[in-house]
Copies of this chain bind each other. A is one copy, B any other.
Amino acid sequence: MKILVIGASGRVGSDLVEQLLADNHQVVGTTRQDEILFNDDNYTQLDLDITAEKNAIQSQIADDIEAVYFVAGSGGKGVLEVDLHGAVKTMQAVEDKGIKRYIMLSTVFSLDTSKWDNPAIADLKDYYIAKHYADQWLVNNSTLDYTIVQAGALKERAGTGKIAINSTEAGENAIEDVAATLVAVLNADNTNKQVFNMQNGDTAISDAIAKL
């Protein structure tokens, strides 16, 4: 497939692109950085500014893109411009182009405000509000075939290939496993219009996704 990865230079984004390329997908990665991030014949790169107008974003997305990942993040600076409005504009642009598949990397309990008194979340309140309304838009205001993958704290450690899904408490994630989970949902039709949270666990990723 030809896949657009919005946020290809991020911690999850770079792992995700590597895994998609390993699966022989064609990947268009977006980044604000100048240097080419991956040296692979199946990789091309786009300087996509998601703070630009929606039509400017849309004009940069190729017609033959078949699926889109949103794995960009403001890192706390520009949550309104990037994590909320930037994300929604990409949804609108993708939808207006007739592309159906949209996979969003979000954060655990983004849609469950009753969990937001957790101190770890309370410290990230603005980020959570931004992700909340972006995810709400995807669920309630778009016609996209979305999947929202809500990961907990991202850790730079080796993946295990095993996760737990829809835990009631937030947990940690190896970044490699988050990327592998994002790859696993791509063609899993049972994940269309689904939202789930994930963390390190005991179930092989493919089994966990199949049970959704």
Q: Which residues of A contact B (CB under 8 A)?
A: 53-54, 79-81, 84-85, 88, 113-114, 116-117, 125-126, 129-130, 132-133, 136-137, 140-141
B141–A136 CB distance below 8 A? yes
Complex Cα–Cα for A137 and B140 (A):
10
**With a CB–CB cut-off of 8 A, which chain B residues contact A136?**
141
**With a CB–CB cut-off of 8 A, which chain B residues contact A125?**
80-81
Per a CB cutoff under 8 Å, which of B54, B88, B129 touches A85? B129
A80–B126 CB distance below 8 A? yes
Known contacts A140-B140, A141-B136; decide if A114 and B53 are in contact (CB<8 Å). Answer: yes
B53–A126 CB distance below 8 A? no
**With a CB–CB cut-off of 8 A, which chain B residues contact A126?**
80-81
A91 to chain B, nearest CB (A): 13
B53–A133 CB distance below 8 A? no
B129–A54 CB distance below 8 A? no
* Minimum CB distance partner of A132 in chain B: B85
Complex Cα–Cα for A132 and B81 (A):
12
A134 to chain B, nearest CB (A): 9
13 A-B pairs with CB atoms under 8 Å apart are A53-B113, A53-B114, A53-B116, A54-B113, A79-B80, A80-B129, A81-B125, A81-B126, A84-B129, A85-B133, A133-B133, A136-B141, A140-B140
